[in-house]
Chains A and B, each alone.
Chain A
């Protein structure tokens, strides 16, 4: 009789489902770790979220094994493990809020201002979870030697869903103000995670689809990041030439209303990476910079007035002058041109006109 055949089917089912989740997540962590020019903070939070789901998956397998009494343990240890499981899941909700905010606003300033509002539910749950080690708050060990939820357990679920809703509302408001976030669609994660949660509640306890749903959601989120990375120029961190066709499609479908195009030509200079650092600092976040050629950067934006472009050009020129003073042996020489949308010209016509002039199409 093989070892596997001695293991109850319930434990095997839990093991297989959660193993898929873990393999998926380990793959995502490794691939994301290799992603070039990705913000380190963003990488760290993403990896932390993946690790939390891995912990969740491991705890599910452990809980199934304990339920089927493969692993004989004192009931207090079993309860402690369940409490840890809940803390991990609650911690994931906080990580999700942090990740969503960072993707939207490139910082934690807004979250920090409301930190007690965000953390208070988590800390209340943490205290209640710790108390659960001593008396039944969310979970209890029944006479059937299995762990059951108390009526109060629903409070945890409500708070967890609350965090998801808060993040979704923030993204909705952000998209309303700034236009749709390209390469970050919350539904990509939320839908599989929600589907996993629903199936988890409807199916027998050992069919633990929550961790699998979350793993699939995170993997799909990574797929969006990988898609964005596929357009990135490694040297400068801007989009590369392949992004031109992607933008052309967005513009022709009226998902992006280009108002002007600026062109920065370094005329053969080798210090393109340094120039792009200068440009990144001077360009507002609403702009779309694309490395068109080895020494040419195209910048799209929706504004259709000269004055903002002049401001950018002036600031870039000043920064280049400062750079050249410090790097007199290898100075930059930048030519700046721009094209505004003509009266009655569509964004697509402007874009096409500029690209043809630059021989980029």
Chain B
């Protein structure tokens, strides 16, 4: 059994356990991974985590995005290495996770993590759920709302800088490092006023075909209206391009996004998940 660091160079070796989306995420700046290769050169286990607030004045935390072990020994080995080496190296002061798997939660509990249950902040819907929204049926986005594919690289970067300097990065720790091509450029929308981008609705299309809204931001007067227009625009574009069964994953980490989902899709709830944290 061999433990190795997972990076963009070798993530493909762990494809069978990681899946294509996480393999793709391993190219991202703050994603880290530890993997266990079995004697038969088959992956036995992985621990993938993303650093949170790694480049700010706040303390660095670690969000465990995925932990999967084919054997308890693999799990223990990876957790040990994570705790003893990587937490120290990255100056992580707290690690936290969220999972539907109770067994995994129990494993984490044995490693010193707390264990609690809650409704997940993440909700999963299908694209066809959005087609029926009144907002989408009646709404007609004006001409100043466009796909981000119409932006130049300079305009995109100016918009991202404006976003970041106002302290907004959506669900992306590495927004500053992501090129425009990382997003679904036809479905992602922007609003433009006086030649400047004053609103962004960025959507990621993962390799497995899931759509994930990752940034929803607008500034200036009537920002709420422009947010609505961008949402309508994106949904309509997505409906044109993707099959209605396409999964859409929405993170309701901020109060505003929770309220928006409650208003638009009141019947949609997050799954019950286990969550916990550990001070390092």
Contact = CB atoms under 8 A, between A and B. Distances in A.
Given A170-B221, A303-B164, A109 B57 contact: no
A107 B193 contact: yes
B161 A284 contact: yes
Interface in A21-47: none
Interface in B209-253: 219-223
A53 B164 CA distance: 42
B55 interface: yes
B166 interface: yes
A308 B164 contact: yes
A340 interface: yes
B56 interface: yes
Interface string B42-69: 0000000000000111110000000000
Contact of B57 (A110, A177, A304): A304
Given A177-B219, A311-B161, A311-B176, A303 B167 contact: yes
B29 to A, nearest CB: 8
A307 interface: yes
Q: Interface size bucket, B side?
A: 20 to 34
B162 interface: yes
Interface residues of A, number: 35
Contacts of A113: 142, 144, 193, 222
Contact of A305 (B55, B144, B154, B219): B55
Interface string A343-356: 10100000000000
A108 B194 contact: yes
B221 A342 contact: no
A33 to B, nearest CB: 25
A229 interface: no
B165 A341 contact: no
B254 to A, nearest CB: 16
Contacts of B160: 311
20 contacts: A107-B194, A107-B195, A109-B193, A109-B194, A110-B221, A110-B222, A113-B142, A113-B193, A170-B221, A174-B220, A284-B162, A301-B165, A302-B167, A303-B164, A303-B165, A304-B56, A306-B55, A308-B165, A308-B176, A315-B157
